[in-house]
């Protein structure tokens, strides 16, 4: 924790206050993970909190676990892509973004086709 603060020492007072809030959130979320280790929503939130503290390296494995669950929808995968990019893994981030985009396009297409078919049958 002290290393994180030392690395970000040049921050202004408002930025330092936000960082302190995120670090507190990280500690609280880590306690929650200890109580429910596989909870995807808590994992996703912890990963995002790690990103906000500038710790993409520690966010990546957490967000990988969160992204494996469909309960988070595409959000966890988008958070993972951001963490990968910030961690210098741009190629993997780009691949993941393409996968999310393709899945969302397919989902939207099915929804359009499904609702379009219902309207035609009603006419």
Domains of the chain plus CATH, in order, are: 8-122 (1.25.40.10)
Q: Give residue 16's pLDDT.
A: 64
What CA–CA distance (Å, rounded) separates 123 from 119? Answer: 6
**pLDDT value of residue 35:** 87
* Residue 57 pLDDT: 96
pLDDT profile of the chain (123 residues), mean per 10: 52 65 76 85 92 93 92 91 97 97 92 64 45
CB-based contacts of 21: which residues, under 8 Å, 6+ apart? Answer: none
């Amino acid at each position: 924790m002290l290393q994180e603060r030392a690395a970000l020492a040049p921050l202004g007072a408002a930025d330092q206050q936000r960082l302190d809030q995120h670090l507190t959130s990280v500690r609280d979320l880590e306690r929650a993970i200890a109580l429910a280790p596989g909870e995807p929503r808590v994992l996703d939130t912890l990963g995002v909190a790690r990103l906000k503290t500038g710790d993409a390296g520690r966010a990546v494995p957490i967000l990988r676990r969160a992204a494996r669950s469909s309960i988070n929808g595409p959000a966890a995968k988008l958070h993972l892509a951001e963490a990968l990019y910030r961690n210098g893994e741009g190629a993997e981030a780009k691949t993941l973004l393409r996968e999310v985009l393709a899945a969302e396009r397919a989902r939207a297409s099915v929804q359009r086709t499904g609702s379009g078919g219902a309207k035609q049958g009603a006419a």
